[in-house]
Amino acid sequence: MGMAELAEAVIDIIAAKTSVDRAKLEPTARLADLEIASLDVVEIVFALEEKFDIQIPFNANTSQVEFETVGDVIKAVQKVIDEKAA
């Protein structure tokens, strides 16, 4: 899967799990600004793990640091998939 394709897939999941307009899910958009709460992020991470059959090392207690933007989520998924392939 190419990077653009992966980003689209991640954004699809975020859009499906929240009621945020897909057009607003730019990589630079901040999750807090989109009113995506921490429990939403937990559910998004779960959906990503199920879809890509991966384990994302994510602790809700440090989520503010790890996942500030939509792009951070895409990067985290990319990283785990790359590690899995290596």
Does the protein bind another protein through residue 45 (CB under 8 A)?
yes
Residue 54 near residue 84 (C-beta atoms within 8 A) = yes
CB of 23 to another protein, least distance (A): 27
Does the protein bind another protein through residue 53 (CB under 8 A)?
no
CB of 60 to another protein, least distance (A): 4
Nearer to another protein, 28 or 34 (CB): 34
Spatial CA neighbour of 12 closest among 52, 59, 39: 52
Count residues binding another protein (CB under 8 A): 14
Residues 6 or more apart from 17 whose CB is under 8 A from it?
40, 43, 44, 47
